[in-house]
Amino acid sequence: MPPEPRTAIATVCLSGTLEDKLAAAAAAGFDGVELFENDLLVSPSSPADIRRRCAGLGLSIDLYQPFRDFEAVPPDVHAANLRRAAHKFDVMAQLGTDTVLVCSSVSPDAIDDDELAAEQLRALADLAQQRGMRIAYEALAWGRHVSGYEHAWRIVRRAAHPALGVCLDSFHILSKGHDPAPIRAIPGEKIFFLQLADAPRLPMDVLPWSRHHRLFPGQGDFDLTAFTGHVLAAGYRGPLSLEVFNDVYRQADPRPAAVDARRSLLALEESLGVRDLPAAPRLTGHAFAEVVTDPGAGAILASLGFARTGVHRTKPVQLWEQGEARVVVNEGGAAHGAVGALAVASTDPARSARRAEALLAPVLPRVRGPREADLASVAAPDGTQVFLCGDDWRDDFVPTGETAAGAGILGIDHVALSQPFDHFDEAALFYRSVFGLTPSPVAEFAAPFGLVRSRAVAAEEVRLTLDSALVRRGEWAPAVPEPQHVAFACADALAAAAAMRAAGAPLLTIPANYYDDLEARLDVPPGLREHSVLYDRDDHGEYLHFATALAGTRVFFEVVQRIGGYRGYGVVNAPVRMAAHRAHRRAGAPAKTAV
């Protein structure tokens, strides 16, 4: 296996003061940083102080950036640019860094003349070489005359100076649809720096796309494994560095953001074959979902045909079962009304735990009583515990002797977890990299109280949906700001709904307007309206689903039937269900509080 590359992160990726950013980068395990000039300008620390601080944290300053609008300008502007560069080199000497990023010009003074650009960059490289420094020339995707990496490389090659090379930025290359394969023809020693960023495919101008919507590797739609593979094949041996402009990351706590960034590089290195991580074992299904709530959850589960089959040996926790569906009701937790934990069955729980630790998700401490299973668990970005189970966890429960009446539930189809907006992209990367789940495209829908973003992450037997409200401010907001639910699979949703309603289950009532529109658009199965069952279809099959009222403050249960090869989660019906939940709450609460 090739040696593991060094890693770096641009300070512009993170929120806070420069001191906050450096501390977060070091704590996450980065080897170095790209120092963004604005971060230095607002810092009360001198460049020499920053150098000492980085050394104390074990960080190198691998790049100083950016130096803008230098090349192919009139003589008077060129002379002023060289004076400006001399000052930059003084600052870099105090910082202890030897490479500066020079972006292709966007200035109206720039002239479309490659020979002039090469000549002036050669003069800059002469000045840099006298100081023991280097110039990394980068083609901005919106550069005035130079906007492609191959064009930048032609200018660098024409300048033919040992202190002048290129900086390759995945966003600038992939956002324009440029083929990265020719990178292999650039001599590795002339690739002075590599900057990595992922992004979603967005139909918008490249400049705002770059400034607001970049993501860490593995969170977007770019093939960074192939891109980085071309760069390494060319012989590049410098750091893998992240340069991600993102509105969320630049406002979020820098410590978890830096961990997320580092995790993204670890997963990328694994995909490149330059880092050896424990392979993700196959997950065979949902072992259980834990609901932290009041005793009302048990009553709802009973009305759905579940039985309380076990009581935990040492904790105020009950096990409810029907078919292969298992729900642990925790009546002693502090966070009432939440999916406090989910448990996945792994073919090798110990290796799953080792992989989680290697990807910066440390195993959580757990108090274990006598005769209790030694279950490992890790914390997801939103704080949810994820247990890694074999077959012995049920021994923790003393059997009650009760058996499920049954209402057709077969198992857990999926678990829906609400995510703080700051952690939405991080959560998808976490479940993909740590557990090998595959993210689906992001879906957005207009809910009664604002826009909601949803994304599924799934393997063959384990499905999760991650939901996040984009904005949730002020008094005018739902009383259930972050609803979560456990969805149970069944073979006949209409029969299950009829049986559960007869048993007293608090199922939601869906408005007639929904069915009037549905029946006008589609040829749907009979009985949906009578049983308040929602309906969706895709190219592969059909989906029937219905939901209960809240069991506590945030959690509800859903029952779903997949027909054929339906792959979705009924997202199109989420606004209807959310409005029905609000109507149900208003019917049972004073008007002033029923929101």
How many Cα atoms sit within 13 Å of 71 on the Cβ side? 34
Q: What is the pLDDT of residue 334?
A: 53
Closest to 329 measured CA to CA, from 277, 369, 289, 283: 289
The CA–CA distances, whole Å, from 125 to 71, 342, 373, 394 equal 12, 57, 64, 68
> Is it the case that residue 434 has pLDDT exceeding 60?
yes
The size of the chain, in residues, is 595
Residue 593 has pLDDT above 50, yes or no: no
Q: Which residues pair with 241 in a beta bridge?
A: 8, 195
DSSP 3-state of 195:
strand
Q: Give the pLDDT confidence of 99-135 residue by residue, as tens digits.
A: 999 999 999 989 999 999 999 999 999 999 999 999 9
Please tell me the predicted confidence (pLDDT) of residue 550.
87
Residue 58: Cβ within 10 Å count: 12
Q: pLDDT class for 373, splitting at 50, 70, 90?
A: confident
Give CA–CA dist 89/93, Å, rounded. 6
Cα→Cα distances 80→75, 84, 86, Å: 9, 6, 10
DSSP secondary structure letters along 65-97: EEE-S-SS--HHHHHHHHHHHHHHHHHHHHHT-
Task: Identify the pLDDT of residue 375.
Answer: 84
Q: What 3-state class would DSSP assign to 414?
A: strand
DSSP 340: E
Domains and CATH numbers, the chain: 7-272 (3.20.20.150), 283-587 (3.10.180.10)
DSSP assignment string, 497-549: HHHHHHTT--BPPPPHHHHHHHHHHS---TTHHHHT-EEEE-SSEEEEEEEBP
Strand arrangement of the beta sheet that strand 283-292 belongs to: 376-379, 385-389, 338-346, 283-292, 325-330, 317-322, 307-312, 397-399
On the question of pLDDT at 477 being above 60, the answer is no
Q: Quote the pLDDT of residue 591.
A: 38
Quote the DSSP letter at residue 190. G
Res. 590: pLDDT tops 50: no
Q: What is the pLDDT of residue 335?
A: 53
Confidence of residue 70 (pLDDT cuts 50, 70, 90): very high
Per the prediction, the chain carries an average pLDDT of 91
519-558 b/e with 16+ CB inside 10 Å = b?
A: eeeeebeeebeebbbbbbbeeeebbbbbbbbbbbbbbbbb
Mean pLDDT of 501-509: 95
How far is residue 586's CA from residue 582's CA, in Å, rounded to a whole number? 6
Of the candidates 167, 52, 72, the one whose C-alpha atom is nearest the C-alpha of residue 121 is 72
- CA geometry: angle at 590 spanning 589 and 595, to 5°? 70
Contact 244, 8 (CB under 8 A): no
Q: In this structure, which amino acid lies at residue 479? A: A
pTM for this predicted structure: 0.91
Vertex 536 angle, CA 546 and 290, to 5°: 40
CA distance 135 to 164: 5
Are 28 and 259 in contact by the 8 Å Cβ rule? The answer is: yes
**Confidence bin at 336 (pLDDT 50/70/90):** low
Count of C-beta atoms within a 10 Å radius of residue 476: 7
Please compute, for residue 208, the number of CA atoms within 13 A of its CA located in the half-sphere on the CB side: 4
DSSP code of residue 324: T
> What does the pLDDT look like over 296-328, one tens digit per residue?
788 899 999 999 999 998 888 999 999 999 999
Neighbours of 486 (CB within 10 A): 24
DSSP secondary structure string for all residues of 39-71: HHHT-SS-HHHHHHHHHHHT-EEEEEEEE-S-S
69-94: b or e for each residue (b if 16 or more CB lie within 10 Å)?
bbbbbeeebbeebeeebeebbebbbe
Task: Please compute the mean of the pLDDT values over residues 346-352 and round it to a whole number.
Answer: 93
Q: Cβ contacts of residue 191 below 8 Å, gap of 6+?
A: 165, 166, 167, 168, 183, 231, 234, 235, 236, 238
Distance CA 81, CA 67 (A): 10
Residue 411 has pLDDT above 70, yes or no: yes
Collapsing DSSP to helix, strand or coil, 129 comes out as helix
> Which residues neighbour 57 within 8 Å (Cβ) at sequence distance 6 or greater?
22, 23, 25, 26
